[in-house]
Amino acid sequence: MTLTTGIRPRWRIAQPWIGLAARLGLAAVWIVAGGSKVSDLAASGYAVNAYQVMPYDLAMVIGAALPFVELALGVLLLVGLATRLSAVFSAALLVVFIAGIISAWARGLNIDCGCFGGGGELAAGQSPTYGTEILRDVGFLVLAGILLIWPRTPLSVDTWLAGGTLPEENNEQS
């Protein structure tokens, strides 16, 4: 018995559950982020405008739309419908967020990212936490990457629509 012989069966058992944890974790992130902003769309717009990368009116529109996009991604991931597509949009959005934070940091802006509500310029004496925010978003990006590779997970509409089996159960590739 080789080392890989024992690892492969364990991986086949663990992989769907790792995918489920990634799917539900990323769903929770989007639902909390969108939910924290949806009650004050103007504040979400001001948070986007604080990055100073687009005209004010466009920032306000994007800020008002963003909570609904986040909530939609969260719900799709929660039920496991169009998981790979949701992971693609999640990854793209996270890359934009990471680039925005890096840009704000590089330009010396003193802002709160607004990722979970609030946002905008920080009060005098407050310091931004750009490094932590970038690491957090990279972690979320890893979750999206897991779902890009293994989108079908237990307890998902995608799996149910595929006949209730996961790729390992019927020797298919996702």
Q: Is the pLDDT of residue 173 over 60?
A: no
Between CA 95 and CA 162 the distance in angstroms is 30
Between the CA of residue 101 and those of 23, 38, 114, 156, 171, what are the distances in Å?
24, 21, 10, 33, 42
- Let me know if residue 6 belongs to a domain: no
Angle between helices 3-37 and 41-49 (to 10 degrees): 110
Q: How many other CB atoms sit within 10 Å of the CB of residue 104?
A: 21
Instruction: Write down the residue that tokens 């799709």 correspond to.
Output: 76
Structural domain of 104? 19-163
Give whole-number Cα distances, 163 to 22, 158, 167, in Å: 22, 9, 11
Split into its structural domains, the chain has a count of: 1
C-alpha 156/C-alpha 174 separation (Å) is: 14
pLDDT at 2 exceeding the cut of 70: no
For 37, 81, 110, 130, the CA distances from 123, given in Å and listed in that order, are 20, 41, 9, 16
Identify whether 14 is part of a domain: no
Q: Is residue 174 part of a domain?
A: no
Residue 8 lies in a domain: no
Residue 158's CB is within 10 A of a number of other CB atoms, namely 19
Q: Which H or E run contains 120? A: strand 120-121
Render pLDDT for 147-167 as a digit per residue (tens, 0 to 9).
Answer: 999 999 999 999 888 887 776
- More confident call, 120 vs 63: 63
Nearest alpha-carbon partner for 65 in 87, 90, 38, 47: 38
The per-residue pLDDT for range 81-124, each reduced to its tens digit, is 999 999 999 999 999 999 999 999 999 999 999 999 988 889 88
Q: Is residue 26 part of a domain?
A: yes
Residue 1 maps to a domain: no
Strand partners, 115: 117
Q: Is 129 helix (H, G, I), strand (E, B) or coil?
A: coil
Instruction: Identify the bridge partners of residue 110 per DSSP, sorted by sequence position.
Output: none
Name which residue leads in pLDDT, 148 or 11: 148
Residue 154 placed within a domain: yes
Is residue 7 a part of any domain in this protein?
A: no
pLDDT band at 141 (very low <50, low <70, confident <90, very high): very high
How far is 40 from 28, CA to CA, in rounded Å? 20
Which pLDDT does position 114 carry in this prediction?
A: 93
